[in-house]
Chains A and B, each alone.
Chain A
Amino acid sequence: MRIEETSIPDVCIKNIDKSKVDLANDVIRVIHPLLNKDYVFKLKNVKQLQKTVNENKDLLLNRKENIAKKYILQKRRKKEFILLDRIKKLVSSGLLSKDISLKNEMVILLKVVDQVPESKIDSYLNETLNIITKRGIN
């Protein structure tokens, strides 16, 4: 007789056939549904679904970052648009024809308006607004 040390309680040697049947029933009860085709298919499906969810999460995060960057750019371009509109008003009012240094400054600004730092754009926006308000230019 072979005896092995395990953590499982003894099988009743007097009724080993019954033990085998019990074990077989346990095996069927516990194992069968796991091996069931439907279960395996479902498991595969769930794994695939989880993978898709993770991929979509990454994609969404990527899109979010991309939109955030574009939003910053959009804000910047809008500021440039407002600044150009104010310069246009200054030109239309004839003010720049009188003030040569301001005119030169505006010409330089126009050439580099899409490259200057945003703080500079903000400063020009304030400056041009002050001039327009002071002079009553519409």
Chain B
Amino acid sequence: MNLIKVNSLDKSKTIDSEKINESIIKRLMIICKEDKNSPIPSNKYIQLEKLQKELLIKNQKLSELLEKASKMDKEITEDITSTELRNLKTKESLLELLGSES
């Protein structure tokens, strides 16, 4: 069985503050022990920096793609509008021609 004995030698402290101290120390110890085999915090920082760089590159690529998509969208929309306009004019002139023929 694992035991923890914390701060019990300091008799000058009140029970409440002692409780708080125990709780804090216990939690910190758990964090330290849990982290013993995992990458050290400096590595976490490096990992975070790496992630930030990756996200920046990803975002840059996405921005470029969005720009391309906007350009393509604009071109297609313009083409549709101009074709619709031409078709309408052709349709009207043809209907006029066929109407006058009858």
Q: Chain A: residues with CB nearer than 8 A to chain B? A: 1-11, 13, 16, 23, 26-27, 29-34, 36, 39, 42-43, 45-46, 49-50, 52-53, 56-57, 59-60, 63-64, 66-67, 70-71, 73-74, 77-78, 80-81, 84-85, 87-88, 91, 96-97, 103, 106-107, 110-111, 113-114
Contact = CB atoms under 8 A, between A and B. Distances in A.
B33 A23 contact: no
Nearest to B19: A2
A57 B42 CA distance: 31
Contact of B66 (A8, A33, A56, A91): A56
Main secondary structure of the interface of B (DSSP, over half): helix
A16 to B, nearest CB: 6
Main secondary structure of the interface of A (DSSP, over half): helix
B83 A96 contact: no
A78 to B, nearest CB: 6
A11 B28 contact: no
